[in-house]
């Protein structure tokens, strides 16, 4: 499922900035928050796709 693969890629891309944010880098924290919003949207797409698959059966 492409939507799930996209979600995994977003999470993986965020890992380096999370480490920086934990070290006190405020700009990295801002980037993490922006990425998390994208993760939230991607998660919703996965949920919707699962519902489509379930409804098709």
Beta carbons of 46 and 7 less than 8 angstroms apart? yes
- The position carrying tokens 């980037």 is 31
Query: Mean pLDDT over all residues of the chain?
Result: 94
Closest CA to 3 of 57, 37, 48, 34: 48
Closest CA to 15 of 1, 30, 35: 35
Question: Domain coordinates of the chain in residue numbers?
Answer: 2-56
User: For 1-57, where are the alpha helices, taking DSSP H only?
Assistant: 2-22, 26-56
User: Can you state the angle between helices 26-56 and 2-22, rounded to 10 degrees?
Assistant: 160
Q: Is the pLDDT of residue 39 over 90?
A: yes
- pLDDT tens per residue across span 10-36: 999 999 999 999 999 999 999 999 999
């Amino acid at each position: 499922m492409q939507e799930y693969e996209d979600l995994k890629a977003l999470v993986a891309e965020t890992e380096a900035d999370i480490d920086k944010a934990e070290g006190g880098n405020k700009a990295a924290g801002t980037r993490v928050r922006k990425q998390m919003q994208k993760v939230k949207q991607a998660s919703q797409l996965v949920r919707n796709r699962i519902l489509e698959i379930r409804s098709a059966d």
